[in-house]
């Protein structure tokens, strides 16, 4: 045990740069000088020499201004047990984060004759651990849970003074302002919110004045930092839980904008509709989800939060999220405004050639021969009871194709269930696919959950980005396809299922199989029929048609005149390469529609961050792709991606997380810009 205690002392000293400032100081070597200086201050109102440290002198001056009793630290400041439990409940997360730290310090505290306190930001002691004899003595001085050691109440002391100045503090013997506690020594360090830097509380180590040790302040600072680390883990776990419990909400169809926020009002996630819904309501909210890792308060990276999002929204839109009886965040459901009566009659939007306007394929606008052929093939495959694999880049409309095929299939009256395999961690994806029973794992929803496979029974299951499915889940899914049965996680009794599978990918799955990232047997099982959807850059004759169709839809939905494209904007749209495909075009047209009142949309009406650059293939330099040859936005994006991958040491999972994009999207951009994964620079 002795060796373990010595190791703990050394670790505390090594974990911080804090050194005690008391050894050799007047507080230790000449305590009577400190006592005399205090008497001078109380009698004359000022200090005549510099024997007292500036930190202590300033604290004494505050105590005089606050009329603190110089004889006795206030003893009428304790709570009864019921009141204390109520206070502790409000600091439950802080207490939970501190428990392993207080437990680890138990032997050292007992050996050194000291006690450790966890303190609320108000100065109230929440918990006390350590040497039993010292804890008994502390009872006589109100150095116990429920007592308030704020500086304005109890005078100069490590707890109150550290909270006042916002940094680590040691106060020894006669440096205490109140005379009755000058036989004690204490060391305290503040605990800060790792993401917002505000003070959440403090760690304090106290003992009789003969227990002053070099490591006490370092131990307090080390304990505070470790508690902050525990808080980071708790917050990240809550964030993951928020994402998990709202997957169904974000996967459901609808026109409402969704904002997912944590308990502190930080944005965690939005859906695709959020941009246009907020724009239609005139709300300007930064929709970049908060990346908590990037806001940790090390190396001065902390920045103040922008205006609180919750304050800008109608309270009727905000719904608390409750999990197992505890609130874990908020979801804001922002409805589209009720469409107004159009002031001008609107003609029907252009219809794609050879389309059956009565089917789901009527939503797929285009006249490009390759695109029309893809629609015709999809219409034929819709009636065949076999799996279909849709191939195409991100944003080409694979889910629209899948939905249209479902509506044309014999199972059109049943459910269409969609799941993106690339947006979830391995464990979340397993739960979403297969479901789970009550108590299957920590955090499992009470009563269990029906998985997407089971929910699609009798209907159609659409798995987007199936190439992102983890390798160890692939044989489990293959068995479902082979045996037509499924076991929920934590369950042994299989359930029969019968569904039609439509999968989609932006990867070359044959190449993924060759490189060992996708199982060959699963590949052949899901690709009975493969349909390739052309990218928008290969449908230049459809770009203006699509843009006009989108403008007509916006006018009809929101009321008002149908806006037109100028010849200059038409030309610009046709020349752009559209790396984001139809999704990029939709975002551009929607933003332009809401940002201008003009009837004619020109290039000048495009938002600055979405300005298009004319790109041609003729002058592309050797060794570059046409996508980045003359497009400064693409070049800037490439540079950012390279830098982030270098910062993350080539780890693409962490790089995608820092860039706030799906890992599958990062792979697409690597191929697009020709970035070598092993040497991203």
CA 634 to CA 627: how far, in whole Å?
7
Question: Who wins on pLDDT, 334 or 21?
Answer: 334
pLDDT at residue 302 in the model: 41
Residues 489 and 590 both lie in one domain = no
Q: Could you tell me if residue 100 is inside a domain?
A: yes
What is the distance between the terminal CA atoms of the chain, rounded to a whole angstrom?
50
CA 644 to CA 681: how far, in whole Å?
10
Alpha carbon 431 to chain centroid distance? Answer: 20
Residues 521 and 641 both lie in one domain = no
Q: What is the pLDDT of residues 643-669, one digit of tens each?
A: 778 777 777 877 777 776 777 678 778
For the segment 352-357, the average pLDDT, to the nearest whole number, is 38
Q: Could you tell me if residue 213 is inside a domain?
A: yes
pLDDT at residue 280 in the model: 78
Q: What is the pLDDT of residues 423-452, one digit of tens each?
A: 778 888 888 899 888 776 665 567 678 889
- Domain region containing 88: 2-231
Give whole-number Cα distances, 185 to 53, 171, 212, 470, 547, in Å.
15, 6, 6, 56, 74
Contact predicate 140/223, CB 8 Å: no
Q: Could you tell me if residue 32 is inside a domain?
A: yes
Residues 102 and 224 both lie in one domain = yes
Q: What is the pLDDT of residues 73-113, one digit of tens each?
A: 875 556 778 888 888 888 988 999 998 888 888 878 888 88
For the segment 360-364, the average pLDDT, to the nearest whole number, is 80
Q: What is the pLDDT of residues 497-542, one digit of tens each?
A: 999 999 999 998 988 998 899 999 999 999 889 999 999 999 988 9
CATH number of the domain that residue 365 is part of: 3.40.50.300
pLDDT at residue 75 in the model: 58
Residues 415 and 543 both lie in one domain = no
For the segment 633-641, the average pLDDT, to the nearest whole number, is 70
Structural domain count of the chain: 5
What phi and psi values does residue 379 have, to the nearest 5 degrees?
Answer: -65, -40
Choose the weakest-confidence range: 3-12, 319-328, 651-660, 671-680.
Answer: 3-12
334 beta partners: 257
DSSP 8-state code for residue 386: S
Q: Could you tell me if residue 624 is inside a domain?
A: no
CATH number of the domain that residue 656 is part of: 1.10.10.60
Instruction: Give me the half-sphere count of Cα atoms (radius 13 Å) on the Cβ side of residue 489.
Output: 26
Q: What is the pLDDT of residues 537-590, one digit of tens each?
A: 999 889 999 999 888 888 877 777 788 999 988 888 888 888 888 888 888 888
Question: Who wins on pLDDT, 303 or 36?
Answer: 36
Q: Please give the angle made by the CA atoms of 185, 189 and 193, to the nearest 5 degrees.
A: 160
Percent of the chain past pLDDT 70, that is, above it, reads 81
Residues 323 and 386 both lie in one domain = no
Q: Could you tell me if residue 365 is inside a domain?
A: yes
Domain boundary among 492, 516, 534: 534
CA 292 to CA 384: how far, in whole Å?
47
Name, in order, each residue with C-beta under 8 angstroms of 341's C-beta and a sequence gap of 6 or more.
559
Q: Given a cut of 60, is residue 367 above it in pLDDT? A: yes
For the segment 393-421, the average pLDDT, to the nearest whole number, is 90
CATH number of the domain that residue 65 is part of: 3.30.450.40
Q: Could you tell me if residue 626 is inside a domain?
A: no
Q: Residue 609's pLDDT band (boundaries 50, 70, 90)? A: low
Residues 251 and 311 both lie in one domain = yes
Give whole-number Cα distances, 200 to 14, 230, 292, 563, 648, in Å.
24, 13, 17, 53, 31
Q: Could you tell me if residue 527 is inside a domain?
A: yes
Q: Given a cut of 50, is residue 350 above it in pLDDT? A: no
Residues 48 and 83 both lie in one domain = yes
pLDDT at residue 356 in the model: 40
pLDDT at residue 291 in the model: 60
Residues 200 and 314 both lie in one domain = no
Q: What is the pLDDT of residues 126-165, one digit of tens each?
A: 999 888 899 889 888 888 998 899 998 899 999 999 999 9
Most confident segment among 235-244, 459-468, 579-588, 646-655: 459-468
Q: Residue 335's pLDDT band (boundaries 50, 70, 90)? A: confident
pLDDT at residue 185 in the model: 92
Q: Residue 27's pLDDT band (boundaries 50, 70, 90)? A: low
Domain boundary among 319, 334, 349: 334
Q: Residue 338's pLDDT band (boundaries 50, 70, 90)? A: low
Domain boundary among 231, 266, 289: 231
pLDDT at residue 602 in the model: 86
pLDDT at residue 616 in the model: 39
Q: Given a cut of 60, is residue 304 above it in pLDDT? A: no
Contact predicate 312/679, CB 8 Å: no
pLDDT at residue 660 in the model: 65
pLDDT at residue 193 in the model: 85
pLDDT at residue 212 in the model: 81
Q: Could you tell me if residue 21 is inside a domain?
A: yes
pLDDT at residue 519 in the model: 93
Name, in order, each residue with C-beta under 8 angstroms of 631's C-beta and a sequence gap of 6 or more.
577, 613, 615
Residues 59 and 197 both lie in one domain = yes
pLDDT at residue 611 in the model: 57
Output the six-digit token pair for 128.
């006390």
Q: Given a cut of 70, is residue 323 above it in pLDDT? A: yes
Percent of the chain past pLDDT 90, that is, above it, reads 27
Residues 503 and 560 both lie in one domain = no
Name, in order, each residue with C-beta under 8 angstroms of 91's C-beta and a sequence gap of 6 or more.
120, 126, 201
CA 111 to CA 133: how far, in whole Å?
11
pLDDT at residue 453 in the model: 93
pLDDT at residue 10 in the model: 52
pLDDT at residue 73 in the model: 83
Q: Given a cut of 60, is residue 299 above it in pLDDT? A: no
Long-range contacts of 58-63 (CB under 8 A, 24+ apart): 59/151, 59/156, 59/161, 59/164, 59/177, 60/156, 60/177, 62/151, 62/152, 62/164, 63/151, 63/152, 63/155, 63/156, 63/177
Residues 218 and 250 both lie in one domain = no
pLDDT at residue 620 in the model: 38
Q: Which of 309, 340, 278 is nearest to 594 (CA)?
A: 278
Residues 378 and 481 both lie in one domain = yes
Please state, rounded to an integer, the average pLDDT across all residues of the chain. 80
């Amino acid at each position: 045990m002795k060796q373990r205690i010595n190791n703990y002392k050394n670790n505390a000293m090594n974990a911080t740069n804090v050194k005690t400032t008391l050894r050799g100081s007047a507080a230790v070597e000449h305590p009577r000088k400190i006592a005399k200086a205090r008497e001078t201050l109380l009698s004359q109102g000022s200090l005549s020499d510099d024997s007292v440290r500036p930190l202590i002198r300033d604290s004494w001056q505050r105590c005089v201004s606050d009329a603190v009793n110089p004889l006795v630290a206030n003893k009428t400041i304790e709570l009864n047990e019921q009141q204390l439990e109520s206070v502790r409940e409000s600091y439950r997360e802080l207490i939970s984060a501190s428990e392993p730290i207080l437990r680890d310090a138990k032997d050292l505290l007992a050996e050194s004759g000291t006690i450790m306190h966890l303190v609320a930001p108000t100065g109230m002691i929440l918990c006390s651990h350590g040497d039993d004899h010292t804890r008994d003595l502390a009872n006589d001085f109100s150095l116990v849970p429920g007592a308030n050691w704020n500086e304005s109440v109890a005078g100069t002391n490590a707890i109150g003074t550290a909270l006042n100045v916002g940094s680590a503090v040691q106060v020894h013997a006669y440096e205490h302002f109140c005379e009755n506690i000058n036989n004690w020594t204490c060391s305290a360090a503040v605990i800060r919110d790792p993401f917002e830097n505000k003070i959440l509380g403090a760690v304090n180590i106290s003992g009789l004045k003969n227990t002053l040790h070099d490591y006490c302040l370092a131990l307090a600072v080390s304990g505070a930092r470790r508690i902050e680390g525990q808080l980071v883990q708790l917050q990240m776990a809550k964030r993951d839980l928020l994402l998990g419990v709202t997957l169904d909400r974000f996967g459901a169809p609808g026109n409402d904008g969704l904002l997912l926020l944590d308990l502190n009002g930080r944005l965690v996630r939005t859906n695709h509709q959020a941009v246009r819904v907020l724009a239609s309501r005139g709300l300007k909210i930064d929709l970049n989800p908060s990346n908590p890792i990037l806001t940790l308060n090390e190396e001065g990276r902390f920045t103040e939060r922008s205006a609180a999002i919750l304050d800008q929204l109608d309270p009727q839109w905000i719904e608390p999220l409750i999990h197992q009886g505890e609130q874990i965040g908020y979801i804001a459901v922002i409805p589209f405004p009720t469409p107004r009566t159009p002031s001008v009659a609107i003609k029907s939007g252009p219809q794609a050639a050879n389309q059956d306007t009565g089917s789901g394929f009527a939503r797929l606008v285009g006249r490009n021969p390759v695109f029309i052929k893809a629609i015709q093939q999809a219409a034929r495959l819709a009636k065949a009871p076999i799996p279909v694999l849709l191939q195409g880049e991100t944003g080409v409309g694979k889910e629209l194709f899948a939905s249209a095929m479902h509506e044309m299939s014999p199972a059109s009256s049943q459910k269409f269930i969609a799941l993106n395999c690339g947006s979830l961690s391995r464990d979340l994806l397993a739960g979403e696919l297969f479901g789970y029973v009550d108590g299957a794992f920590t955090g499992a929803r009470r009563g269990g959950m029906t998985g997407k496979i089971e929910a699609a029974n009798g209907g159609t299951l659409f798995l987007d980005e199936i190439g992102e499915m983890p390798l160890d889940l692939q044989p489990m899914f293959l068995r479902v396809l082979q045996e037509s049965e499924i076991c929920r996680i934590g369950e042994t009794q299989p359930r029969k299922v019968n569904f039609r599978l439509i999968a989609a990918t932006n990867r070359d799955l044959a190449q993924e199989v060759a490189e060992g990232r996708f199982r060959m047997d699963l590949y052949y099982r899901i690709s009975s029929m493969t349909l390739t959807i052309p990218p928008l850059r290969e449908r230049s004759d459809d770009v203006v048609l699509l843009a006009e169709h989108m403008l007509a839809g916006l006018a009809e939905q929101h009321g008002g005149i149908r806006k037109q494209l100028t010849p200059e904007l038409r030309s610009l749209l046709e020349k752009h390469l559209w790396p984001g495909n139809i999704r990029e075009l939709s975002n551009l047209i929607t933003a332009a529609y809401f940002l201008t009142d003009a009837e004619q949309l020109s290039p000048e009406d495009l938002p600055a961050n979405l300005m298009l650059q004319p790109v041609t293939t003729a002058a592309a330099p050797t060794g570059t792709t046409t996508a980045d040859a003359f497009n400064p936005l693409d070049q800037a994006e490439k540079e950012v991606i390279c830098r982030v991958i270098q910062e993350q040491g080539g780890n693409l999972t962490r790089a995608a997380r820092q860039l706030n994009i799906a890992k599958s999207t990062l792979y697409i951009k690597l191929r697009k810009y020709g970035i070598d994964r092993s040497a991203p620079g």
